Structure 1
Amino acid sequence: MSELVQAVLKSSEKTDLYEFIAQLSKDSDRYFLRNQILQAFSEYCSDREKPAYFFHSSSLGELIHYTHELILDDREIWFLLRPRIASQEICKLDRDRDRVEPANVRDLLAFRDRLVGRFFPEKGGLLEIDVTPFYAHSPSIRDARNIGSGLEFLNSELSAKRFHEPEQWLSVVFDLLRDRSYRETPLFLNDRITNREQLSQQAIEALKAIDSLDPETPYPVFEQDLRQLGFEPGWGYNASRVRTVLEFLNKPIGTSDRAVLEAFLAHIPLIFNIVLVSVHGWVAQEEVLGRSETSGQLVYVLNQARHLENQLQNEIKLAGLDRYGVRAKAIVLTRLIPNSEGTVCHQRLEKLEDTENAWILRVPFREFNANLTQNWLSKREIWPYLETFALDAQTELVREFEGTPDAILGNYSDGNLVAFLLSRQFDVPYGHIAHVLEKPRYLFSNLYWQDLEERYHFSLQFTADTIAMNAADFILTSTYQEIVGTPDTVGHYESYKIFTMPELYHVVNGIELFDPKFNLVPPGVDESIFFPYFETDPVGADGDRERTRRDRLKSLLLTREDPDIFGKLDDPDKPAMLAIAPLTAVKNLSGLVECFGRSPGLQERYNLVFLTRTIHRDRAKDEEEKAEIEQLYEAIARYALENKLRWVGMRLTTPDTGGVYRAIAENRGIFVHPARFEAFGLTTIEAMISGLPTFATQFGGPSEIIQDGENGFSIDPTDLEAMARKILDFSDRCDADPDYWSEISQRAIERVRAKYNWKLHAKHVLAIAKTYGFWRSAAKEDREALLRYMEALFYAIYKPRAERLLAEHCQG
């Protein structure tokens, strides 16, 4: 992209470039990000009365739109250009000599350090983290549009390259199935089959043995015949299923039939015990879903555990293994909190409702400092306890499973680090989940980490992230944007590609975005709780239970007086704009109130109803929550909205939350999600399946859920006037066409049911876990060097810093 800068220098726009740089130089800042650059360039074009095309279509305009970072020095101008998704290029301009040249990552990182006064070459060199060599011989996705489709890539291109001959396929399958058992129950093969040639021959004989049987013949009828041939239980519950699975063994794998591997693995139960790690605690079921900083994650984890366990039990039944006492088990691993404040979080085990064998297992932190470890700890302070927690959890998991897990899923930075440590101990596949990564949420958090360390401990978190995401066998994301962003924004994972932690280390390449470990698997919605407003409660077929709940919630939302409710509506019968969110700045509830307050049209058409954890300043859990409460009250008072809104500050049960959506939908209301950024948007799909026309932020996951204007509406929460106008345009169209509200409502329901359901999610996750586990065993030596490198980073960087924080805790 340096040629684009060169083109500007050789054109009449050279003067504009230098005048624009001079305009930026008047600012005290020297480091500009994309939004700042675009805003400044827009002002420049306006001040110079440039024609309309100049901003977008001139050579300089094109350069500016590709520029994601601009750094000014006395003599040099550094450009970080992003010509396309998942691609970054660096160049620098010597303004004295008009010379532009490509620059390397190392120079840019050193320049960033100098910019913040943290570059001291006399102290010696700095550790460079570069994962490039470890991915050099790994398969790589070529087209950025296919990033996030790792499973499909492995099942097609990699299979074709790996299995040139049927014998290679049989050899890997034989190694996979040999010596597998469930506790004392042998599975798949016995000692009559000792090599791949016998596996192929005996499979043909087994097919002959069951060929004359009725397809529905139960497995026990021909069990002994198959055992004589070398086959143990696990191939199917009847003759039809067994025949289907055995036929896979003699099918060629390659580009001509890329689905063979996926279909074979889908029919073979390879996972019986699975662990989902969510460390920071306050994990239970009703009314104990974390603190405000973790509640969304825990809803996801518990729903995922329930549906994974249900899917595993179903696979066991299809394999015919339930006859032999084989049972799946899912465990949500978290920390035990002795001072549990009246909850069950001090109990070691808790069974998950609606499951046969899924549990919450709580393991305490070791008591280095009882004043801390006896109580809940913020996710920012738990880093020193994770290594010993993993060691203790290993013992507890072996006890609960009466063996070892078959797969581990980590959640968030801390849970993923623990999952990595456990996967190394158990030698099993590890899947990484982190719908929100902290580094891109806090601008310049890595560059100024020393100034923020006391409060945030970013050196530990970003190191843990880098280790865990590279060590993972596969990474699950809810949206494509999580990985590589959009043409205008950098993805959360992409932000770990190049960064500096001044005086700690430089990351030259922290993640390989084109590696097929990334898989897009959105979460689902629990349709027993969240369902359309015109349907009855699935639990109570006569609808009485649902009607009673809806009447109670309408009273709560619109008319009931309560110390935990603010506002008294002049007209409770008007449709409502509903919002449900934690009290954090990024969720932008204060922006929604500001938008409502500025718009007489919205106030005429709607009541505003929003739900948070509390309405009381003195009950705020932290300074951020307190600040948001104060901003809400200030905006309400400034626009005199006391009789036009209802602010409900109480924690509702999950079924009641589902009822809230339906109660608002019944009166033809809408749902508004005004977050400045949302990684996925569970409330978005909950509202949509309830039948509420939904207006959700265009920044993040909701833009992939909603097809704007088709089944919902994307809004820009930074442009309050445009947001109000979009809602009012919808209202005007509803007035003109009485069916329009119902059309959008129905399309929203259909969208969620087709794409965002937990059953589909669980099947996809297990298919991924089995496929990556298969490749892990087939090419284990290819990953060992990378895993050793991540262990080195753990012991050389993470552990010493964690021990330093532990010492501070023990002194406090």
Structure 2
Amino acid sequence: MVSNNSGLYILLVSVHGLIRGKNLELGRDADTGGQTKYVVELACTLAKNPQVERVDLVTRLVDDPKVSSDYAKPVEMLSDKAQIIRLACGPRRYLRKEVLWPHLDTFADELLRHIRKVGRIPNVIHTHYADAGYVGCRVAGWLGTPLVHTGHSLGRVKQQRLLEQGTKLEAIEDHFHISTRIEAEEITLGGAALVIASTHQEIDEQYSVYDQYQPERMVVIPPGVTLENFYPAPENWPNPPIYKQLQRFLKDPEKPMIMAISRPAMRKNVNRLIKAFGEDSELRHLANLVVVLGQRDDISTMESGPRQVFTEIFQLIDRYDLYGHIAYPKHHNSDDVPDLYRLTAKTGGVFINPALTEPFGLTLIEASACGVPIIATSDGGPRDIIGACENGVLIDPLNIEDIQNALRDALKNSEQWQRWSSNGLSNVRKHFSWESHVKQYLEKVRLFPQQKIQSLLSPVREFPTRDRPDWKIPETNHLPTADRFLITEIDNTLLGDQEALHKLIQRIRAEGHTTGVGIATGRNLQSTLSMLEEWEFPMPDLLITSAGSEIYYGPQIVTDTSWQKHISYNWQPGAIREAMKAIPGIELQPPDTQGKFKISYFVDADKAPNFREIIRHLRQQQLPVKGIFSHNMYLDLLPFRASKGDALRYVALKWGLPVKRFLVAGASGNDESMLAGNTLAVVVGNYSKEIHKLRGYPQIYFAQGRYAWGILEALDHYDFFGNLSVTQPEPEMLAV
């Protein structure tokens, strides 16, 4: 891979389905359809553009004997500038998208690892569907990278359609986890710098039902099609291989074909098409019906959704005695699809998409490129496609009579058929090529440096004040690219001497080009941000607050929810507060110092038991906690898994940076957990007495300088901006 940073690095995320560069198994199941084709072709076309240096299409790694081993390859090259990256996420086996939600936090963490290996922050993260939106919104927020989102289909619209069909809300929730999906979509819409829609109807009627509907950040870019394989049948074109399969079903295979190609999903509405065909004797006389619904062997082994679709189809075929009039092949490959369109045109037939919802309409564009007139649902994408190509008619997918009338008219009016065919051929390449799509796409992406990146993931939407224009808030986070990190406590360490602080800031700017900067403090987030702004310290890349119980990433202050889930194990704050009432000399600190995973007390040392006795009392009540006692008067109680040191090591592991490349600075007892161990550590000269016991520890440097002067001293001691090695002996250590 080239990596000279001269062009755009675009990261595409499409979590579910079976994605590979060649021989896409379109229609294999409900998750392997138009979206998988879309993202592969988008990646390949972006990579051809000279403005783009690198494209990574990131998806889920699947190591399952029931599917091809192709999906277990961590990397698959698409071109010299594009590749598919597969990341482990959840079980190794293939899973449908509706059950992937519990594993998406892992996917987000693995995506960070990948970015860390690349060593470059993407210019754009472009997510596809709600699951990728959930992942991408978090990662983009962590990095400060613009998020682009394409929904492909929307949960609120799906829920509404299913309810209209009579499906119970409980059943929808049970199978589709629809509330989780809708919440992910809301978060993504709030966090995206740009939402790409296929049609105006998608923006005006589908996205508009969301709380986070912001049309000013939405744009219509018509979907592209790789048109090289889609063209009309030449003169004397022989019947293709798929024709033999169709002959097995049809009494008169030379009749015009009514062609439908889709996944076996309820929303594709193929059952209503078959019913319309079965109830109209004139249609059966005029044409054959061909329905191509992916791959199947034994429908009894299929998932419930596709199995239900096929069961209903077979019942309808039997009810209307359509044997000899309808073809429904079990298998086809990707090369057969263009041939099916050409066969339809050769027989004077039509292509129909009767879906209940159709945000995309890829098959309509493909059919048009082969000269086939189209009949399509009035929902979504088909409106714009037929409006641009002028090669067909829209129908109400719920109205059987409307479907019948449109089909009869298209098949019987030969002059209109020819006009629609010619219009489609000339207009589809003008409006729906991938080159046209990518040109518009890159025009929008190039505007991002001037746009504010949005985020809904943070509990703090704005910084405390914005009155200081000189307070430095960087554009991006350095975690993926830094090769070393400076982490410091605020109180009595970083802050306390204005001159020393300014010298430290100047030195980081001058020498720390590969250095990330973080804060680790007992303060809560609001208090931390207020202090940083007051002292004009640039916004850090990392914020470990509330004594290690909360982790945030700048510049957008995005919560690390995986850390919260990790430390929440066996955390019982109500029981802990109740148990602490029995201890004398203890008083709860004010509410603004408390946190979801931190309970803070004032301790009167003359009246209260000692620290060890307090912790023992809680553990005797079967309440595992971690206690931090500092300045001989403050007690913080945290989940057993939480501390500044644990949080720091979690961040190091998550972002792939060894802890020995972290320089940590502290001054009190609540810094002990991050100072001890393999980190490079400094205790500044004005430290509290409870930390004196750390003298003599390997890799803990006790500085003479107070506050930030001590940190500056440690930068030289450890040659921090150089080789990260001790450059002078430490007298205290030699004396031990």
Name the aligned partner's letter for residue 385 of structure 1.
H
CA separation of 1:452 and 1:710: change in aligned 2, threshold 3 A: closer
Structure 1 residue aligned with 2:103: 385
Report how far residue 455 of structure 1 moved: 3.4
8 A contact 1:615–1:647 mirrored in 2: no
8 A contact 2:295–2:331 mirrored in 1: yes
Report how far residue 745 of structure 1 moved: 0.1
8 A contact 1:332–1:359 mirrored in 2: yes
Report how far residue 343 of structure 1 moved: 2.9
Residues 247-646 of structure 1: matches in 2 within 5 Å?
269=7, 271=8, 273-285=9-21, 286-288=23-25, 291-311=29-49, 314-315=50-51, 328-341=53-66, 342-352=68-78, 355-365=79-89, 373-399=91-117, 401-443=118-160, 453-485=173-205, 491=206, 493-496=207-210, 510-514=211-215, 516-534=216-234, 547=237, 550-557=239-246, 559=247, 561=248, 567=249, 569-614=250-295, 618-619=299-300, 621-646=302-327
Residues 163-174 of structure 1: matches in 2 within 5 Å?
none
Structure 2 residue aligned with 1:714: 394
Name the aligned partner's letter for residue 280 of structure 1.
H
Work out the CA distance in 2 between the residues paired with 1:479 and 1:519. 9
- 2:466 aligned with 1:742: no
Report how far residue 383 of structure 1 moved: 1.6
Match 1:704 to one of 363, 368, 384: 384
- 2:374 aligned with 1:694: yes
8 A contact 1:610–1:647 mirrored in 2: yes
Work out the CA distance in 2 between the residues paired with 1:444 and 1:643. 33
Report how far residue 661 of structure 1 moved: 0.5
Report how far residue 775 of structure 1 moved: 2.4
Structure 1 residue aligned with 2:535: none
Report how far residue 471 of structure 1 moved: 0.6
Structure 2 residue aligned with 1:764: 440
8 A contact 2:377–2:396 mirrored in 1: yes
CA separation of 1:638 and 1:456: change in aligned 2, threshold 3 A: closer
SS in 2 for 1:532: coil
Report how far residue 570 of structure 1 moved: 1.8
Work out the CA distance in 1 between the residues paired with 2:251 and 2:149. 50
Q: Deviations over 1:487-521 (max 9, x none)?
A: xxxx2x2221xxxxxxxxxxxxx21434x210111
Structure 2 residue aligned with 1:656: 336
8 A contact 2:129–2:152 mirrored in 1: yes
- Give the helix-richer structure, 1 or 2: 1
8 A contact 1:282–1:291 mirrored in 2: no
8 A contact 2:290–2:327 mirrored in 1: yes
Report how far residue 693 of structure 1 moved: 0.9
**Deviating more after overlay: 383-392 vs 793-802:** 793-802
SS in 2 for 1:344: helix
Report how far residue 709 of structure 1 moved: 10
Work out the CA distance in 1 between the residues paired with 2:558 and 2:4. 39
Work out the CA distance in 2 between the residues paired with 1:455 and 1:672. 28
Name the aligned partner's letter for residue 656 of structure 1.
D
What is the aligned-residue identity percentage?
A: 26
8 A contact 1:340–1:346 mirrored in 2: no
- Output the TM-score relative to the length of structure 2: 0.59
Work out the CA distance in 1 between the residues paired with 2:161 and 2:321. 38
- Flag the structure with larger Rg: 2
Structure 2 residue aligned with 1:674: 354
Match 1:685 to one of 349, 355, 365: 365
Q: Deviations over 1:393-433 (max 9, x none)?
A: 2122332x342222110011110111112212332211011
- 2:411 aligned with 1:731: yes
Work out the CA distance in 2 between the residues paired with 1:307 and 1:394. 25
SS in 1 for 2:160: coil
Work out the CA distance in 1 between the residues paired with 2:567 and 2:292. 38
Name the aligned partner's letter for residue 689 of structure 1.
A
Q: Deviations over 1:228-255 (max 9, x none)?
A: xxxxxxxxxxxxxxxxxxxxxxxxxxxx
Work out the CA distance in 2 between the residues paired with 1:709 and 1:303. 22
Work out the CA distance in 1 between the residues paired with 2:158 and 2:59. 25
- Number of paired residues? 471
Q: Deviations over 1:416-456 (max 9, x none)?
A: 11111221233221101102111221139999977754433
8 A contact 1:439–1:445 mirrored in 2: no
CA separation of 1:801 and 1:523: change in aligned 2, threshold 3 A: farther
Report how far residue 291 of structure 1 moved: 3.3
CA separation of 1:800 and 1:458: change in aligned 2, threshold 3 A: farther
RMSD over equivalenced CA pairs, Å: 3.4
Structure 2 residue aligned with 1:37: none
Q: Deviations over 1:710-736 (max 9, x none)?
A: 4211112222122212221233321xx
8 A contact 1:688–1:745 mirrored in 2: yes
Q: Structure 1: any 5+ residue segments left out of the alignment?
A: 1-181, 188-268, 317-327, 367-372, 486-490, 497-509, 536-542, 562-566, 805-812
Q: Deviations over 1:557-576 (max 9, x none)?
A: 3x2x4xxxxx3x22111111
Work out the CA distance in 2 between the residues paired with 1:467 and 1:704. 28
CA separation of 1:706 and 1:387: change in aligned 2, threshold 3 A: same
Work out the CA distance in 2 between the residues paired with 1:594 and 1:780. 47
Report how far residue 699 of structure 1 moved: 1.9
8 A contact 1:607–1:644 mirrored in 2: yes
Report how far residue 459 of structure 1 moved: 3.5
8 A contact 1:410–1:431 mirrored in 2: yes
Q: Deviations over 1:563-599 (max 9, x none)?
A: xxxx3x2211111111111111111111111111111
8 A contact 2:29–2:264 mirrored in 1: no
8 A contact 1:613–1:650 mirrored in 2: yes
Report how far residue 555 of structure 1 moved: 2.4
SS in 2 for 1:332: strand
Work out the CA distance in 2 between the residues paired with 1:798 and 1:749. 54
Q: Deviations over 1:105-160 (max 9, x none)?
A: xxxxxxxxxxxxxxxxxxxxxxxxxxxxxxxxxxxxxxxxxxxxxxxxxxxxxxxx
**Deviating more after overlay: 755-764 vs 336-345:** 336-345
Report how far residue 636 of structure 1 moved: 1.0
Work out the CA distance in 2 between the residues paired with 1:334 and 1:637. 41
**Deviating more after overlay: 409-418 vs 446-455:** 446-455
Report how far residue 650 of structure 1 moved: 1.3
Residues 169-248 of structure 1: matches in 2 within 5 Å?
none
CA separation of 1:755 and 1:629: change in aligned 2, threshold 3 A: same
Q: Deviations over 1:538-571 (max 9, x none)?
A: xxxxx9xxx56x43232233x2x4xxxxx3x221
Name the aligned partner's letter for residue 344 of structure 1.
D
SS in 2 for 1:707: helix
8 A contact 1:412–1:436 mirrored in 2: yes
Structure 1 residue aligned with 2:430: 754
Report how far residue 797 of structure 1 moved: 12
CA separation of 1:600 and 1:184: change in aligned 2, threshold 3 A: closer
8 A contact 1:617–1:626 mirrored in 2: no
Work out the CA distance in 2 between the residues paired with 1:556 and 1:590. 21
Structure 1 residue aligned with 2:725: none
8 A contact 1:383–1:802 mirrored in 2: no
8 A contact 1:467–1:794 mirrored in 2: no
- Output the TM-score relative to the length of structure 1: 0.54
Report how far residue 616 of structure 1 moved: 5.4
